[in-house]
Structure formats: C-alpha cells, structure tokens
C-alpha cells in the first residue's frame, strides 16, 4: 500500500497501549472490494483477548476519569490534529479496504476528525445543576460522572467516522473504550489507534480488538456479557441491534443503537426539480448507496413524476463507476458479493412485479461487485425495495397524489432514522417536517449529517443520539447529592 507513513498500516490489534496478535496466532484477510486483492491479514481474536482488553480499560479508567476536562480535551485535540495531518493516508487506506471513492474517503476523514474536535470542546461543558432546596437546612446538587468502561461495535460503511462519533464523546466524558471494528475494515480503525497512541492517550484508555465474521459472536458476547462494561454503542442492522440489546439486558447496560433505515425522499410538485435531483443523487448514490440514511424510497408527486424521473435517470447515467483510486470516479464497488446479491434481488423483484428500469439495472461491465447506478419507475408498496433497506445504488420511484398520502407512505415502515423532502412552500415545510416519524429530516437537502447536530432515529431505527451537545450525555451518569445540616 502506497502511504506517506507506513507506520499507519497495522497488522496487529491495539490493547493496553501495545500491539498484539490473537492468542493462537490466527488471522483473517482484508481485501480490496474493487479488485478482490489481499490487502492485509489482521488478528482473529475471540472472547479471551476481548476480556483482557476490557480489563485494561477498567484499570485505566480511574486515572483517566480523574483527569480534568481540560487535560482530556488536550489529548483529544492532539488526536484531531494528527488525523488532519495524516488525512491523505487514512483516506487512501479507507478507499482500498472499503471501496468508496478517494474524494469521499477524504471527506469522511475530515468528518471523523470533526467529532474529535467537537467533543474535545464539549468535555469542558459538562454542567451539573443546583436545585432550590425544599428545606432550609439542605442543599441539592446534581453532578454528571463518566459511566465507565464502554464498548463500541462499528460498521464498515463509515470505518473512521463511526468510531470517532462514539469514542470521541466517551473519552471526553472520562470513560475508557474497547472498539470492535467491522471485519471488512479493520485497517482504518487500527490507523486511528496508532494516531491515538501518538496523541498520548494512556495505556488502556483506547483499545481495538479485531475479529472475523466467525469470531464476531464471541467478541460481541464478551462485550455485552462482561459486567465491567457499563455501556454499549452499536451501529449496524436492526436485527443485530436487537440481539445485542437482549444480550445487554442481564447486566442492565446502557445502550446506544443506530440501526437500519428505510429513508423516504419526497418530491412535491412545488419543488425546485433540479435541486431535488441533485439532492437525490447526493443522498442515494453516495458510498454506492451503502449508508443508513440514504434515500431508499423516492416518493414523487404525480404532477412532476415524469419530469423528475427523466432528469434523475439522465444524471444517474452520467455517474462514473470504477475503482475509488481512479480520478473522476464517483461510485465504487459494493462491499461484497452478499451486498451485490441483495441489490440484484430487489431489482429483479421490482421488475417481476411491473416496475421498469430507466437506467442501469444490472451489474457493471467492470465485473466484481460493481453495479450500475440504477433508477426504477412505477414502483409499488408490494415490492421488496419498499419494505427492505436495499443498501445499494438503486433509486425506486413511487408515485403519490396528495401531501397526506405522501406522509402516510413515508411513515408506513417500522424504521425511523432519516427522511428528506423538497418543497418551496414554507407552510408545507413545517407541516411535513413535523409529521414525518423520523429522528432526522432534511428539508430541501440530501445531506444533513454533521458533528454539531444530533444523529439518531426513532422506532426500530435505534436508541440515543450521537454528535451534538447531546452525544456526550450518552456516556454520563447523573448523580444527585443532598447536603443536610446546613444552618
């Protein structure tokens, strides 16, 4: 791998301030989804190694929590600065192991770093309360304290940002962390660990354990079952989130879950169609459609349906597909064959039930897991793409007549992560924004994630919020102190 700093490419896990392998020496391969080539082999760990990482985090916790907020913030700030200084290498590594275009990967590194910067600042703004007493001789005080050892299980689609969005607030709050990155993208996580080491985090404060898909249940079982861990944060599917939540129940762990979505993008007949098309492109095809907040259903009012469909199909056809390291590429490969199979299944199901392809609809000529940017018209609620998260570059267009119908269609799902709509009617913007049953709503925009706003969903899309001033609260306990005998 061609990097400016080869020390960022790690083939060992990071536990208690040291680089280590699996107990038995087992490893698993990391491959480039664009070429299928072997990139690296990293430790295939299990429950025993995870238990030691938890113990290391527990030993490190008292000293870390007792540092002042300013002291913790200084180390976080150094980590942030190192991310910026090494952004090109991290982005290249991410493109190679995950597949996203280099420009997107660079954008993610900056996005990931922004959470570390934000929470370095928020560490100094953890405020308590003084409550007016009910009795003259008492004083009532509320303080906030770090919850303890935290576990973070992160996905492959945003291998840097999903770590910093969890680890940043945890470390700022005074917690210590054990991270289990996705098996497809451990190299980005280990590069972040190397930079954390350089930044000066004490041994045991930040740990990364790696494992294959076969080992994930062992690692996850230890993270959820070990009573030393007081908090679990997970980003991934609703199915796995339910399982982890159940496993955390016996020890009553606090959980933050950012789960699946089925995001609607509504285009009303009073929308700026060109802006709506660009918003749909940004939301749908970014990261090859492999984001939990990407538009999964495009609901278009009948008066502009045909015009919007033509415009979107033309723009989608122009998107250049290829290896993420090639100049000008805006869509890379799907992460693996399983992802490709799901996309093909959804397209085939839609076509069998009467939908028609306006562009794409098949594997790309490049082969492998590349798939053409696709737009499908005449999609109906009985099709799989209406109910399931496609997680690929397929834009299914649904037709609606009235505002009430659009809201009903959008809310007709067990998920509630993100929604989008386009309209130039100010009153409608408020009505629809308030009526949509989602944790986040983008109005006249296809991208809304940032470090200063709360990220999270409702219904079966999750629990808790990440980013913003609310993100650090997920890693704090509220303690009430009642002082008596004050006269």
Q: Is 292 annotated in the active site? A: yes
Other beta carbons within 10 angstroms of residue 46's beta carbon come to 23
Encode burial over 425-453: b for 16+ CB neighbours within 10 A, e otherwise. Answer: eeebbeebeeebbbbbbbbeebeebebee
Kindly provide the b/e burial profile for residues 147-156, where b requires at least 16 CB atoms within 10 angstroms of the residue's own CB.
bbbbbbbbbb
* Secondary structure E strands in 137-252: 139-146, 149-153, 176-180, 206-208, 229-235
The answer to whether 167 and 152 are in contact (CB under 8 A) is: yes
Residue of 150, 175, 248, 292 marked catalytic: 292
Per-residue tokens: 101: 């275009």
Q: Which of 122, 292, 251, 98 is nearest to 188 (CA)?
A: 98
Give the Cα separation of 261 and 255 in Å (integer): 18
Supply 340's token pair.
């490709």
- What CA–CA distance (Å, rounded) separates 438 from 260? 12
Where does residue 275 rank: exposed (0-12), middle (13-18), buried (19+ CB within 10 A)?
middle
- Among the options 97, 117, 258, 372, which is catalytic? 258
- Calculate the dihedral angle through the C-alpha atoms of 195, 201, 206, 207, rounding to the nearest 10 degrees: 70
Cα–Cα distance, 187 to 201 (Å, whole number): 19
Is there a contact between 330 and 287 (Cβ–Cβ < 8 Å)?
Answer: no
Q: Which residues carry out catalysis?
A: 258, 292
């Amino acid at each position: 791998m061609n990097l400016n700093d080869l020390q960022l490419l790690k083939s060992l896990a990071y536990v208690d301030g040291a680089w280590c392998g699996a107990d038995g020496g087992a490893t698993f391969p990391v491959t480039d989804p664009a070429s299928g080539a072997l990139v690296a082999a990293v430790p295939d760990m299990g429950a025993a190694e995870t238990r030691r990482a938890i113990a290391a985090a527990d030993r490190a916790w008292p000293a870390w929590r007792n540092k002042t907020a300013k002291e913790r913030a200084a180390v976080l700030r150094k980590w942030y600065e190192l991310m910026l200084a090494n952004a090109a290498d991290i982005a290249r590594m991410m493109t190679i192991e995950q597949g996203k275009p280099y420009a997107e990967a660079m954008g993610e590194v900056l996005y990931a770093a922004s959470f570390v910067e934000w929470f370095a600042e928020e560490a100094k703004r953890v405020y308590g309360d003084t409550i007016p007493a009910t009795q003259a001789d008492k004083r009532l005080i509320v303080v906030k304290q770090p919850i303890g050892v935290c576990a973070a299980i992160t996905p492959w689609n945003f291998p840097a940002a999903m770590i910093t969005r969890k680890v940043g607030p945890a470390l700022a709050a005074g917690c210590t962390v054990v991270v289990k990155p996705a098996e497809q993208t451990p190299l980005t996580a280990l590069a972040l660990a190397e930079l954390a080491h350089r930044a000066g985090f004490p041994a045991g404060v930040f740990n990364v354990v790696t494992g294959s898909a076969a080992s994930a249940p062992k690692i996850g079982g230890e993270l959820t079952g070990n009573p030393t861990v007081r908090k679990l944060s997970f980003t991934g599917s609703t199915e796995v989130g339910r399982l982890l939540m159940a496993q955390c129940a016996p020890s009553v762990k606090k959980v933050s879950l950012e789960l699946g979505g089925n995001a609607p993008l509504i285009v009303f007949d009073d929308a700026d169609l060109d802006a709506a098309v660009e918003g749909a492109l940004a939301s749908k095809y970014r990261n090859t459609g492999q984001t939990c907040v990407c538009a999964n259903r495009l609901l278009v009012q009948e008066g502009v349906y045909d015009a919007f469909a033509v415009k979107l199909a033309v723009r989608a056809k122009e998107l250049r597909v290829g290896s993420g390291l090639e100049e000008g590429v805006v869509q890379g490969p799907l992460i693996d064959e399983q992802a490709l199979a799901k996309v093909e299944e959804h397209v085939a199901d839609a076509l069998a039930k009467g939908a028609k392809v306006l562009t794409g609809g098949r594997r790309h000529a490049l082969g492998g897991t590349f798939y053409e940017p696709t737009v499908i018209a005449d999609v109906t609620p009985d099709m799989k793409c209406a109910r399931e998260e496609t997680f690929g570059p397929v834009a299914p267009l649904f037709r609606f007549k009235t505002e009430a119908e659009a809201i009903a269609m959008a809310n007709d799902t067990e998920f509630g992560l993100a929604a989008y709509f386009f309209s130039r009617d100010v009153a409608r913007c408020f009505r629809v924004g308030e009526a949509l049953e989602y944790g986040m709503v983008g109005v006249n925009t296809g991208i809304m994630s940032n470090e200063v706003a709360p990220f999270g969903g409702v219904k079966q899309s999750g629990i808790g919020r990440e980013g913003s001033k609310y993100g650090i609260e997920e890693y704090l306990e509220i303690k009430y102190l009642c002082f008596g005998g004050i006269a």
